[in-house]
């Protein structure tokens, strides 16, 4: 990561935490006022289930913004696998500030570890195939870049970040743009540097998109037999065009989908249906 990218990432994390703390703490933590001023505490964060750890920058930033005297001692690196009951880190500092930051810090660590863990599970499921697991835009509002970061930590890759960095032509775009070929042609003229992808629901639509020169074709809810046929047709007609499978993909069927020879498999569940990893913070007074 370049220095400029590091600064941009740090600014994004800091901004995310500023919003989250304003939402949770507001003008002040009333309950924390019950704790004597100056009392120190050590808190231990434990994994209650196996996971891929993700979210350390957000966790650290919570306590940095609340109280710079708080220290976090990590026992596991970002992206490492934790097992149940493993010590993740210890937090030391003023008890009031640690208690105030507990929930916000854990929220980020639990959510992003869940996204990374889900991505890792899908990547492992297709190990040895040529396919790549991608995320989608089905993210928690306001946390897209954080979740897409977690997807990468889990070993998968990002699809487009938003509507501004790639073109994905879907049914309504085709209907209003004059059909598959015409819409692809228009899209290709917009920029030479932007991915132009189109969604196809049938083999006929896919073949028209191949002839029109789309960079990638998204095969929406195709059966495994349909995907295999699509790969064969692509190899015969336009081998440089990549194919992406999407829709109805689970851990149970993802390997069979990858085995058809598609290049990419996009899965909304990586970011949309995540269940927070069970982590707990235990205080030692």
Residues catalogued as catalytic: 103, 138, 170, 199, 220
* Residue in 120, 125, 202 with CA at minimum distance from that of residue 135: 120
* Pairing of β 216-220 and β 196-200: parallel
Residue 61 CA to residue 71 CA, distance in Å, equals 11
> How close are the terminal C-alpha atoms of the chain, in Å?
40
Residue 135 CA to residue 266 CA, distance in Å, equals 5
Q: What is the DSSP letter of 280?
A: E
Which residues, listed in sequence order, are joined to residue 280 by a DSSP beta bridge? 46
Residue 139 CA to residue 175 CA, distance in Å, equals 27
């Amino acid at each position: 990561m370049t220095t400029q990218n590091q600064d941009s990432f740090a600014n994004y994390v800091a901004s995310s935490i500023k919003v989250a703390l304003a939402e949770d703490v507001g003008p002040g933590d009333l309950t924390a006022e019950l704790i004597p001023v100056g009392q120190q505490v050590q808190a231990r964060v434990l994994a209650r289930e196996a996971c891929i750890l993700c979210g350390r920058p957000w966790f650290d930033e919570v306590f940095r913004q609340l109280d710079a005297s708080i220290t976090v001692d990590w026992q596991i690196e970002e992206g490492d696998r934790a097992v149940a009951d493993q010590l993740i880190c210890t937090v030391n500092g003023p008890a009031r500030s640690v208690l105030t930051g507990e929930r916000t810090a854990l929220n980020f660590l639990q959510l992003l570890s869940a996204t990374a863990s889900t991505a890792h599970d899908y990547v492992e499921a297709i190990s040895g195939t040529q396919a790549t697991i991608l995320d989608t835009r089905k993210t928690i509002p306001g946390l897209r870049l954080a979740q897409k970061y977690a997807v990468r930590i889990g070993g998968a890759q990002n699809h487009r970040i938003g509507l501004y960095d790639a073109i994905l032509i879907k049914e309504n775009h085709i209907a209003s743009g004059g059909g598959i070929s015409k819409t692809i042609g228009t899209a290709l003229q917009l920029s030479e540097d932007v991915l132009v992808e189109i969604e196809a629901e049938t083999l006929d639509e896919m073949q028209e998109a191949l002839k029109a020169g789309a960079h990638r074709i998204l095969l929406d809810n195709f059966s495994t037999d349909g995907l295999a046929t699509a790969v064969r047709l692509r190899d015969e007609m336009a081998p440089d065009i990549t194919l992406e499978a999407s829709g109805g993909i689970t851990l149970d069927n993802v390997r069979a989908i990858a085995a058809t020879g598609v290049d990419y498999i996009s899965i909304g569940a990586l970011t949309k249906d995540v269940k927070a990893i069970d982590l707990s913070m235990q205080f030692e007074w």
